[in-house]
Amino acid sequence: MANTTTSSAQKLQGSSLSQLLSTLVIAAIIAIIQITIFVIIRKRFKRIYEPKTFLGDIKRRVKPLPSAFYSWLFTLLRMPQEDLIRTAGFDAYFFARYLYVHGLFFLCSFVVLAVILFPIYTIDGKGESYDKHGLDILTFGNILPLHSSRYVAPLVLAYFFIGAFLYLLYTEMKGFVRKRQALLSSPIYQSRASAATILVTTIPEAYMYEDVLFRIFNQFPGGVRYIWINRNLKDLPEKAEKRAKLMEILEATECKLIKTAMKIETKRRKKLHKEMSSEIIEETITNNEQHTIHNYIPEKKRPTMRTGSVPVFSSLCFGKKVDTIRYCKETISKINTEIEMAKATLHNYTPINSAFIQFNKQIAAHMAVQSVLASIPLAMTPCYNDVKPANIVWSNLKLTYYQKKVRELIMLSATVTLIIFWAIPVAFVGILSNLTYLTTKLTFLQFIYNLPSVLLGLITGLLPTVLLAILMALLPIVLRLLAKISGIPTTDAIDRYVQGSYFIFQVVHVFLVVTISSSISSVIVLIIQNPTSAGTILAANIPTASNFFFSFLALQGLSIASGVLLQIVVLISFYLLGKLFDNTPRKKWKRYFTLNSLNWGTVYPLFTNFVVITLVYSIIAPLMLIITGVAFGLFYIAYLYNMLYVSDFPNDTGGLTFPRAIYQSFTGVYLMEIMLAALFFMAQDESGLQSAIVQGVLMCVLIIITLGVQFVMSSSFDPLTHYLPVDAEEFSQLKISVSGKFAWAKMAISAVSRPVRSAYRTGTINNIDDAVIEPYDNTMENAYMHPALRDRQPIVWIPEDNLGIASAEVQSTRTSGLNIAISTEGAWFDKNMNIKINGSPPDYIEMLENNAFSRRF
């Protein structure tokens, strides 16, 4: 998704109505083109636009939408939002709800505020005499000093608007907690092993024994079922990673070698066709000895690679040169043996200061993480509940309490520094976009006019856009890396950290810098010329920054939302990059069967920042409300379609990213109140005296009220967001009347567990309870072991060929005595030497077991 910065803001600030309309026309044209292409090709490329109708978990599949040009949209909008819970999970459901309720609220607010504020701002305002024109006359800054009494209207409406918005946030959090508690209490959730498992960190050395930990944690209700003490596996995880890389190299090399042999054989047969009859050719081929790779590739021309302790150096020219296939086979075999030995002698590895504790009852896990577990200060803290094996950052489990705190301090400092100094590369991009302007000031740059006009246009137009997109794409990656380095032990927690830090970046760079810098040069000049009117000048010019955001949000809502539907990058990468780089059966299988997913840590901040911008300018420039409302509506349609039909969400957190987004919306409320208070305090009458002091004071009072509301919400809902209350089991068994005191609870549970109502639902699950998985089986012993120990031995997968080379390679490997498995099942080269597959990898049975095992968590 496109982002913006100070440089692009300054370029667009002061947009007139005609400029906004120009932006809308261009964005609308882009949107129409993208949507038209999407509608035309949607049914042709089902793997891109409707993969969940035939791929993925069968319980989450959906029925295809109608093929007609527009009927798909009406059918999509008629589908209940609750369908997302089954098909995409709670995270997707609450994200869609966030877009829906905010978009609807902004549209309704515009109807009320515009009717009242537009006449107040425009009638007998400053107008042309104060250089106010276009969209500027619809803002707070257009009120004449003569009409300072009009400031009462924005104050009163601000109270009503903020009150309504806070009530919206309260009701949304209340609804979230109901559904969250219903989820935690549901049989499908309680059947997962992760629901009753906690991660305990910084355990004292004296406690690192199973019997000691059992005695401590067995005091909780139901007692302990399993204990996994984490151990220092030394270089075993690195060896497992090396094995995976060598597997990929081996499969790619085998495929390349077989394809080369097929090309040689094809050329040989073409030559024979010219020299002999077809009968003689067949006889010659039939009488040939069994085909092996040695018949086609001499020993000295076999593929080689360099090895060494430093991968970068060894890959260049410093490592030992070895035969790629033989080296990979021997090394994989050696690693397989070492991992098997490690499993048999696990007790020889030194324990580290963390462990997983699984209870017989879910409530015990929630009680344990909220308890003081050790008499030793800073020991056995923090604890984490609902930890899934697939989401664990294993390298962070051995850190001590002080190591974590030092890393957290370093991470915080690095994040703040990054947010502040990220403006430097962004400023460079802005310089590129204004290069032609700089040439008037810096004459030595005028040589660029000697460049071809096309190249000059690319440098000043396309290049800045590409560089800006790269910069914005790199930041979340850097933030995620910082979070991992800080010692956060789960990917869920890392995602929530990125959500918070990326939101701060968005607010600082996309909103605050733009607003503060808007028209700054002209403001400074005016203040220097008339210093006694500084307050009036600032009050009149700050609202004009909204003009940029009109164009920005309009562009986002039209062109970017339609781009989310079209997925042009995904389309190109799937068919073009897949054809270029998928050179093994496994790569082809992974590309086809792996569905895209959304990263909530980077998606949410974009929209919470839109909410912040809209709230700040809702009273100052009410036109912002309808633009954002429409934009959110378009984004809602685009993401609803993607979440239902395209994206998969294997690691659902139960909606835990939603409360953070709700509380981030408070940032917009505070900034709105601060800006309005500042504008009121700076407002002056015709005599140059402050004319809205009372309004400014009352806005300060509203800030205090907002703080109180957030404190009450946080105190009320935060514990219920993360933990199951002690009365949960008793409460769920009550026969609650819908008309009774606790009717809300029954309705919340019904929203989670009722059948999906849509006529377009497929599959056999009629109720969430039908999908209960047996909670424990013989795989539980290894459930929370390190993946290097838990994962089964992989099988090399190569395609069959018409020469029998792959079969000979399989037979040769099986009789070599190496501890390595290889197969050609379900893969082959066709007559055009393209790899085809009609099944899953040979180790997919194990993968299915692991996937089913993962769903227990």
DSSP at 758: -
Main-chain dihedrals φ then ψ at residue 380, nearest 5 degrees: 55, 40
State how far the alpha carbon of 408 is from the alpha carbons of 16, 131, 149, 204, 586, in Å: 46, 51, 51, 21, 39
Question: Is 639 a domain residue?
Answer: no
User: What is the number of structural domains in the chain?
Assistant: 1
pLDDT per residue over 377-405, tens digit each? 989 999 999 999 989 999 999 898 889 99
Q: Which residue has the higher pLDDT, 224 or 420?
A: 224
> Can you tell me which residue has the tokens 């049914």?
43
Residue 620: name the closest of 543, 696, 729 by CA: 543
pLDDT at res. 318: 62
DSSP string, 135-154: GGGGSGGG--GGGGGGGHHH
Confidence band for 509, pLDDT divided at 50, 70 and 90: confident
CA 792-796-802 angle, to 5 degrees, is 150
Other CB atoms within a 10 A radius of the CB of residue 165 amount to: 23
Alpha helix segments (H runs only) across 276-294: 278-286
Residue by residue, DSSP assigns 806-857 as: HHHHHHHHHTTT-S-EEE-TTEEE-TTS-EEESS--TTHHHHHHHHHHHHT-
CA–CA gap between residue 190 and residue 184 (Å, rounded): 7
Name the residue with tokens 């042009």: 568
Q: How far, in Å, CA of 458 to CA of 849, rounded?
A: 52
Given a cut of 90, is residue 691 above it in pLDDT? no
The Cα 425–Cα 411 span in angstroms is 21
| pLDDT > 90 in the chain, percent | 53
| Residue closest to 343 by CA, chosen among 788, 776, 784, 847 | 788
Structure tokens at 541: 């010019």
Asked, for residue 271, whether it belongs to a domain, the answer is yes
What is the pLDDT confidence band of residue 760, given thresholds at 50, 70 and 90? very low
- HSE (CB half, 13 Å, CA atoms) of 523? 19
Kindly provide the residue ranges of all beta strands, DSSP E only, lying in 14-160, ordered along the sequence. none
The region of weakest confidence among 279-293, 316-330, 506-520, 535-549 is 279-293
CA 303 to chain centre: 39
Tally Cβ neighbours within 10 Å of residue 545.
25
Amino acid at 594: T
What's the mean pLDDT in 426-452?
Answer: 62
Distance CA 607, CA 605 (A): 5
Identify whether 755 is preceded by a cis peptide bond (ω within 30 of 0). no
Average pLDDT, stretch 467-487? 83
Q: What is the DSSP letter of 684?
A: B
Decide if 296 is inside a domain. yes
Helix (H, G, I), strand (E, B) or coil at 609: helix
**Residue 26 pLDDT grade (very low, low, confident, very high; cuts 50, 70, 90):** confident
Cα–Cα nearest to 57, from 92, 31, 90, 86: 86
* pLDDT tens column, 151-185: 999 999 999 999 999 999 999 999 999 999 999 98
Q: Is the pLDDT of residue 857 over 60?
A: no
**Which residues lie below 8 Å from residue 560, measured CB to CB, with a gap of 6+?**
1, 2
pLDDT greater than 90 at residue 231: yes
Q: Rg (Cα) of the chain, in Å, rounded? A: 32
Lowest mean pLDDT among 521-535, 588-602, 658-672: 521-535
Q: Residue 186 to residues 605, 733, 752: CA-CA distances in angstroms?
A: 30, 11, 8
Angle at 781 between CA 399 and CA 796, to 5 degrees: 90
Give dist(CA 409, CA 174) in Å, integer. 34
The CA–CA distances, whole Å, from 28 to 527, 555, 630 equal: 40, 8, 13
Query: Which of 99-108, 206-215, 344-353, 702-711 is the least confident region?
Result: 344-353
What would the DSSP string read from start to end of 533-595?
Answer: GHHHHHHHHGGGGHHHHHHHHHHIIIIIHHHHHH-HHHHHIIIIIHHHH--SHHHHHHHHHPP
331 is a domain residue: yes
Query: SS3 for 373?
Result: coil
Best CA proximity match to 5, nearest among 342, 431, 457, 291: 431
* 640-678 confidence digits (pLDDT tens): 999 999 999 988 888 999 999 999 999 999 999 998 998
Closest among 369, 502, 854, 478 to 652, alpha carbons compared: 854
Closest by CA position to 505, among listed 405, 621, 612:
612
Rounded Cα distance between 795 and 83, Å, is 38
Q: What is the C-alpha end-to-end distance of the chain, expressed in Å?
A: 32
Residue 761 has pLDDT above 60, yes or no: no
If residue 368 lies in a helix (H) or strand (E), which one and from where to where?
A: helix 362-368
Q: Give the DSSP H/E element, type plus range, for residue 332.
A: helix 324-344
Whether residue 819 lies inside any domain: the answer is yes
Helix (H) or strand (E) holding 226: strand 224-231
**Buried b or exposed e, range 752-779, using 16+ CB within 10 angstroms:** bbeebebebbbbebeebeebebebbeee
Amino acid at 124: D
Packing angle of the helix pair 585-593, 236-275 (nearest 10 deg): 110
Give a yes or no: residue 789 inside a domain. yes
Helix (H) or strand (E) holding 518: none
What are the pLDDT digits (tens) for 823-839? 999 999 998 999 999 98
More confident residue, 468 or 769: 468
821-823 and 795-797 strand pairing: parallel
Written as one string, the DSSP assignment of 169-181 is HHHHHHHHHHHHH
Tell me which residue has tokens 């005016």. 526
Residues 6+ apart with CB under 8 A from 526: 533, 537
Q: How far apart are CA 173 and CA 177, in angstroms?
A: 6
Q: Which domain holds residue 805?
A: 236-345+780-855
Strand ranges inside 292-397, DSSP E: 304-307, 320-323, 351-359, 383-385
**Which comes out higher in pLDDT, residue 246 or 522?**
246
Which neighbouring-strand residues pair with 837? 827
Run of H or E including 566: helix 561-566
d(CA 405, CA 486): 8
- Distance from C-alpha of 700 to C-alpha of 695, rounded to nearest angstrom: 9
Residue 190's pLDDT band (cuts 50, 70, 90) = confident
Q: Decide if pLDDT at 25 tops 90.
A: no
Do residues 580 and 51 lie in contact, with contact meaning Cβ atoms separated by under 8 Å?
no
**Nearest in space to 92 (alpha carbons), one of 832, 826, 636, 489:** 636
Main-chain phi, psi angles of 267, to 5 degrees: -65, -40
Residue 305 near residue 789 (C-beta atoms within 8 A)? no
Calculate the average pLDDT of the chain: 82
CB 244 within 8 A of CB 366: no
Confidence of residue 136 (pLDDT cuts 50, 70, 90): confident
Residue with tokens 């209340």: 174
Chain mean position to CA 564: 14
- Phi and psi dihedrals of 319, rounded to 5? -85, 170
Say which residues have a Cβ less than 8 Å from residue 278's Cβ, sequence separation at least 6: none
User: How does pLDDT run across 85-121, given as a tens digit for each residue?
Assistant: 989 999 999 999 999 999 999 999 999 999 999 999 8
- Cβ proximity of 383 and 368 under 8 Å: yes
Backbone angles phi, psi at 353, to 5 degrees: -85, 45
In a domain, 260, yes or no: yes
Is the pLDDT higher at 20 or at 612?
612
State the Cα–Cα distance between residues 304 and 773, nearest whole angstrom: 48
Q: Which helix (H) or strand (E) element contains residue 800?
A: none
Residue 240 resides in a domain = yes
Sorted by sequence, the CB contacts under 8 Å of residue 349 that are 6+ apart come out as 231, 232, 233, 234, 342
